[in-house]
A and B are shown apart, each in its own frame.
Chain A
Amino acid sequence: MQWETVIGLEVHSQLSTKTKIFSGASTAFGAEPNSQACQVDLALPGVLPVLNKGAVERAIKFGLAIGAKLNRTNIFDRKNYFYPDLPKGYQISQFTLPIVEAGELTVQVEGDKPGDKAVEKTVRITRAHLEEDAGKSLHEDFHGMTGIDLNRAGTPLLEIVSEPDMRSAREAVAYAKALHTLVTWIGICDGNMQEGSFRVDANVSVRPLGQAEYGTRREIKNLNSFKFLEQAINYEVRWQIEQIEDGHRVEQATVLFDPDTGETRMMRSKEDAHDYRYFPDPDLLPVKLEEDWIEQVRATLPELPQQKQARYQADLGLSAYDASALTASRAMADYFEAVVAGLVKQDAKLAANWIMGDLSATLNREGVDIAASRIPAGQLAALLARIQDATLSGKLAKQVFEALWAGEGEVDAIIEARGLKQVSDSGALSAIIDEVLAANAKSVEEFRSGKEKAFNALVGQVMKASKGKANPAQVNELLKKKLGAG
């Protein structure tokens, strides 16, 4: 039987506000346990929540970026359950009326094999709602007791819920990555997955291909890397198919992924599901989104990845693949645009090739983000300008690039210091060629007798004699002339 995988994702994106969603305590990561938990976060008797407008603004920004409906009135509800790191005994979240509803995100899904054409996929986003994070329970180091750290309690989250629109782990990863790009791009989330700023829950089910109804889903909780997301879904899909083919039924459940074994394991079954007794939080007023507020937020929205991709293709003549790669992050796009802007003679393709080629390779090798590149965009533009004006050959340019990375100074200074200037002076070149022709009579002979290969050998000799500085195009031209072949 052929099976179809159905995946929906719930992403918890930590919003980049300085203070918590309902208190004035700092949200900075990594502080001493409980040093960033104020009386509101500790849920002392009598304390009350006050909504952080910055969190609402970030949610509005997200809603605008995915073309969603913004609920002009939205409300906070209480989700009631007991857990030691949930100080109030309830989480303030949005249940019946979330701030964002019905948006979508179009993503590029890579093909099966490297080199296959990427496919466009639109994933519908059901809703995105604001809520507070819980604290952390620490089970180690307390001699059989549990430690509670409430620094994270009250950190603002935007929970982004997709429709079950994805049909493979690869699609899910492409969507998750695009979402990650988007939230960091519009500056609402730092995207740091190690610190838990972007956590993914995957709802996975399988069904016979062609069946209209969904299969029973299991939810894989708290995946904090794209690699784990892919591994967990693939494992889960295999497991579910195996269960069904072995005559068992898949029961609705929440599972955890163990990166060490690469397997998912049961956390709780449907029977253990809580009745959260949601109801509107009487301590908070309904949130009203006035039109001017929305417009103010809209004005702060940068050009979005998809808008840039379209523009790169239409105005700069780049391929869809290049446009997509150059908008993988806002820093990447900013860098690319700065390089293009730095070129007197516009050549976006040249800039794209260098950024996606040498620069990306170097950044990867050194583990450096493009925003922290040791070669600023202006210097890369200066380097490319020297290729454009034929001062440097591609090969020499690579040397200059290495020198730039090594911090040897600016482009022209490096060319000067290393004597890398391409020889394009036809007088000087002509002299070199004459010498080479004189010293390689045999090759000249062979060429004249029809061996085309001998020409290349002569070009090589000329380049060697010029220590690589000869302009290859000019060498070709002059050689042909001198050999009477042109």
Chain B
Amino acid sequence: MTDTIKSLAALLAEGKTSSVELCRDYLARIERLNPALNAFVTVDAEKTLREAAAADARRAAGQAGVLTGVPIAHKDIFCAEGWLTTCGSKMLSNFVSPYDAHVIEQFKAAGMPCLGKTNMDEFAMGSSNETSYYGPVRNPWDTDRVPGGSSGGSAAAVAGRLAPAATGTDTGGSIRQPAALTGITGLKPTYGVVSRYGMIAFASSLDQGGPMATTAEDCALLLNVMAGFDPRDSTSLERGKEDYTRDLERPLAGLKIGLPREFFGAGLTGDTARAVEEAINQLKKLGAQTVEVGLPNSKLSVAAYYVLAPAEASSNLSRFDGVRYGYRTPEYKDLNEMYEKTRAEGFGSEVKRRIMIGAYVLSHGYYDAYYLQAQKLRRLIAQDFVEAFKQCDVILGPTAPTTAFKLGEKTADPVEMYLSDIYTIAVNLAGLPGMSLPCGFDAQGLPIGLQLIGDYFAEARMLNVAHQYQLASDWHTRAPTL
């Protein structure tokens, strides 16, 4: 039985349970299962229950909102006042945030207690959750396998029902790919819809926070809380509040689904290809039509991404210097040694690799050949989508080329790991909304993800397609046995 946040909200509204009771149940499940999954970096039952009690009091006072009292877990990339906020790094292993991210403020205002901070790839750099200073997260469907990354802790927590929902962030696929690998639903909004204030930056022009839950409908409810203009983020878009649930019940008759030929070529394993094909058939039965579209430049997206994201990261991570907060090496002779040892000891190897790549592509003499060239590619990739959306309402394809792989399977070959995001990265480069939802299982019983890509600000339409599909399928209700 899957408890959606919608169903939990109904129970709370009917007075059949309390937030404290719900939180106790989830905390107990976390206590029991987290040692095996390692989905959480920080759990603080006392704090959670205090927030839950406050939510119950608010409900008693007749001031409850739709989701008041429903608990949620937050990716450890979001600064939360009084919570250890590590970003999966030794560098911030002692950092207790003195302030709340905009996203955290929004969930607090909605009265949703925090169940804890979830594990993640270090500074969101990774596709398997193996780069975390706090150890790898394990996939609830097979604990020898990875949950994907970088929002692997959030994905595993929701998939294992340790939390009914969680926040994630997506720079190149970090919400969608782990959602796919753990059989849950996750959404990356249009760039600028969710404020980045208080979300520790990896690649500023690509990072976007979003919801992870078991259903599209839950994602819509959560996005209603998360989204909104924030004057503290200059890239936050000044748009009116919208209700992302408004189109959920819209019939799919007349829907035009674009199928990029580049997503259905070689490299897609049999089971994934088959599951995606079946999902297309299901949507057709619901009245949708398909049209083939081309995204000719998307094959360059991984290359462009691994220039731009490291470039921004190399600069974003400069503030972690041991001077004001975070880890500082215990012994040093002078300033330079303090910097060198602090950063050598505080960062893991994948983070260092990307800082090196980023510093290199921004260097004098290389900037034009790498950074500027990648920016041009980025515009071409975005232009492909603009053309494609002239022919269709949403674009559909696989989320990831494979299902969950084994721990250690790809760590030796960074490029192999980077290709895990081959279908998701173009969406970030274009700034478009995208989501992943479960569409079946492979022969080994591992979940397969279906990716939907919407036009700018077409989250509601995308959620509509996903919700209608979920009304006609039950993949999203399946939970691993733990």
A480 and B363 alpha carbons, distance in the complex (Å) = 90
With A42-B324, A279-B371 known as contacts, the answer to whether A88 contacts B201 (CB < 8 A) is no
The reply to whether A44 and B99 form a contact with Cβ atoms under 8 Å apart is yes
CB atoms of B319 and A89 under 8 A apart: yes
A88 touches B323 (CB 8 A): no
B318–A39 CB distance below 8 A: no
B453 close to A (CB within 8 Å): no
Chain A 330-363 against B: per-residue CB contact (8 Å), 1 yes, 0 no?
0000000000000000000000000000000000
| Given known A-B contacts A39-B99, A80-B362, A46 and B367 have beta carbons under 8 A apart | no
Is residue B217 within 8 Å, beta carbon to beta carbon, of the partner chain? no
* Cβ-defined contact, B325 with A285, below 8 A: no
- Residue in contact with B98 in the complex, picked from A39, A43, A89, A285, CB distance below 8 Å: A39
Is there contact, CB below 8 Å, between B231 and A80? Answer: no
Q: In the assembly, what is the distance between CA of A264 and CA of B196, in Å?
A: 47
The number of residues on chain B lying at the interface, defined by a beta carbon within 8 Å of a beta carbon of chain A, is 44
> Given the complex, which residues of B lie within 8 Å of A282, measured CB to CB?
203-205, 235, 312
Question: Which of A78, A82, A90, A285 contacts B234 (CB under 8 A)?
Answer: A285
- Interface contact A44-B325, CB-CB below 8 Å: yes
Q: Which of A42, A43, A48 contacts B232 (CB 8 A)?
A: A48
CA distance A78 to B198 in the complex (A): 20
Contact among B234, B314, B317 with A284 in the assembled complex (CB-CB below 8 Å): B234
State whether A283 touches B235 (Cβ < 8 A): yes
Which residues, 366 to 419 on B, are CB-close (under 8 Å) to A? Answer: 367, 371
The answer to whether the Cβ of A49 comes within 8 Å of any Cβ in the partner chain is yes
Q: Which of A43, A48, A87, A279 contacts B233 (CB 8 A)?
A: A48
Does any Cβ of B come within 8 Å of A109's Cβ? Answer: no
A46 touches B321 (CB 8 A): no
B79 at the interface (CB under 8 A from A): yes
Pair A279/B79 contact, Cβ less than 8 Å: no
Known interface pairs A88-B319, A282-B312; A46-B198 also in contact (CB < 8 Å): yes
Are the CB atoms of A279 and B101 closer together than 8 Å?
no
A89 and B234 within 8 A (CB): no
Say whether B335 faces chain A, with CB atoms less than 8 Å apart: yes
Chain B residues whose CB sits within 8 angstroms of the CB of A39 once the complex forms: 98-99
A148 touches B232 (CB 8 A): no
Chain A residues with CB below 8 A from B367, complex form: 277-279
Closest to A81 in B: B318
Q: How many residues of A contact B (CB 8 A)?
A: 29
A46 touches B101 (CB 8 A): yes
Are B98 and A46 in touch, CB under 8 angstroms? no
Choose from B92, B231, B363 the contact partner of A45 (Cβ within 8 Å).
Answer: B92
A46 touches B362 (CB 8 A): no
Give the CA-CA distance A295 to B231 in the complex, in Å.
Answer: 26
Among B234, B318, B320, contact of A283 (Cβ-Cβ < 8 Å): B234
- The B310-340 residues at the A interface (CB cut-off 8 A) are 311-312, 314-315, 317-321, 323-325, 335, 339
When the two chains form their complex, are residues B362 and A48 in contact, meaning their CB atoms are under 8 A apart?
no
Does A51 have its Cβ within 8 Å of any Cβ on chain B? yes
Contact A47 B311 (CB under 8 A): no
Contact A88 B318 (CB under 8 A): yes
Q: Is A50 an interface residue (CB 8 A)?
A: yes
Q: Report whether A46 and B323 are in contact in the complex, using a CB–CB cutoff of 8 Å.
A: no
Q: CB-defined interface of B351-368 with A at 8 Å, one 1/0 digit per residue?
A: 000000001001110010
Residues B234 and A46 in contact, CB atoms below 8 Å apart: no
For the complex formed, measure the closest distance between the CB of A193 and the CB atoms of chain B, giving whole angstroms.
29
Knowing A47-B198, A82-B339, A84-B323, say if A279 contacts B311 (CB, 8 Å). Answer: yes
- 23 example contacts (A-B, Cβ-Cβ < 8 A) are as follows A43-B319, A44-B98, A45-B95, A45-B97, A45-B319, A46-B78, A46-B198, A48-B197, A50-B231, A50-B232, A88-B318, A89-B317, A90-B315, A146-B335, A277-B315, A277-B367, A278-B367, A279-B311, A279-B315, A279-B362, A279-B367, A282-B235, A283-B235
- Which residues of A are interface residues toward B (Cβ below 8 A)? 39, 42-51, 78, 80, 82, 84, 87-90, 146, 148, 275, 277-279, 282-285
- Given A50-B231, A282-B203, 5 other A-B contacts at CB below 8 A? A39-B98, A46-B78, A46-B101, A48-B197, A84-B323
**7 closest residue pairs by CB, A with B:** A89-B318, A277-B362, A282-B205, A282-B204, A46-B198, A45-B200, A43-B319
